[in-house]
Amino acid sequence: MDLSVVVPTLNDRDELGGCLDALTAETPTEILVVNGPSTDGTSGMVRDREDVSVLVETDDRNVNVARNAGLDRARGDAIAFVNPTMAVEEGWLDAVTHALDGADAVTGPTHEQLRAGVATDTSESRTIRGRTVTYFNGGNAAFTREVLEKLDGFDEYLEIGGARDAAHRLAGLDYDVAWATDMCVAREAATDGGMTERNWRTRYRSLAYRMAKNYGIHPTVSLRTVRHAFTDAASTLRDVARGDAKPTSWFGNGRDVVVGSVAGYKDGLLARYTDRSPRRNPNGWSTRADRAVAVYDRR
């Protein structure tokens, strides 16, 4: 099996070097780096490396655009996506190829170094309207080319949640996602001890969009969105009670949740109407050919 590995990156120069070192040790057929408008010297670093087959430069900060730009130039009959902040562990390539011998898509665990040890995740599935959806890690996943063509790649409307959306669409097309315990990647935990601030409007626009697009007008769509909103609201309210957040931020977050949800729901229904095929991807891989502003191909 010829495996192409696509690494989308944006201002991840230091972590990217370790990611590429680990990938090279696993000897995939080719490595493609898709670089967004980075300002940290990523382009020069990648061009100096002989183990990167293709460097694609884009002017878009959207990771799903970067994934599709990698698909534009990948030649393998299987294609993997790896986050630049992760390093594949020994045996990763064998785990991918063995799993894809009997599956349409495969993902695996992430090992995260913590002060108290190493944390790892597990397979995650949900049943929505009778459809069993198995989620995959967008930074550690591999697919046959046939599956990606049927999906038409990733939905470029989404700034976040592209992998979750693709998981819903895989289930809609009756494709299975396998869990390979040896397909491991490692990630260093953040060292500053701080919390990453969420963009609530973007988060809920993504959630409502992919639910409406994949399941249409149904109580499940609104109920799942509301349930997420109540959970997040309770979490933020606890932060206010502890003094970790201001009451004004709680109200502001609520406004962003409502605005994002309404926009996402509207756009999701429009997308569902636009692409009535099972792949549900009106903003996919085949819709444009101008993602790259420059390509450096060593092949």
Structural domain boundaries enclosing 15: 3-192+282-297
Question: Do 157 and 266 lie in a common domain?
Answer: no
CATH code at position 81: 3.90.550.10
pLDDT bucket at 197, cuts 50 / 70 / 90: very low
At residue 14, the 3 state secondary structure works out as: helix
Q: What is the pLDDT of residues 97-130, one digit of tens each?
A: 999 999 999 999 998 865 544 556 788 898 888 8
Question: Do 172 and 31 lie in a common domain?
Answer: yes
Q: How far apart are CA 268 and CA 223, in angstroms?
A: 16
Question: Do 186 and 210 lie in a common domain?
Answer: no
Number of Cβ atoms within 10 Å of the Cβ of 223: 11
Q: How far apart are CA 107 and CA 200, in angstroms?
A: 27
Q: What is the pLDDT of residues 16-40, one digit of tens each?
A: 999 999 999 999 999 999 999 999 9
Question: Do 41 and 164 lie in a common domain?
Answer: yes
Residue 252, C-beta contacts closer than 8 angstroms, at least 6 positions apart: none
CB contact burial 180-202 (16+ within 10 A = b; e otherwise) = beebbbbbeeeeeeeeeeeebbb
Q: What is the pLDDT of residues 223-253, one digit of tens each?
A: 666 666 556 555 554 554 555 555 555 455 6
Number of Cβ atoms within 10 Å of the Cβ of 54: 23
* pLDDT number for residue 240: 44
Domain count, the chain: 2
Question: Do 149 and 240 lie in a common domain?
Answer: no
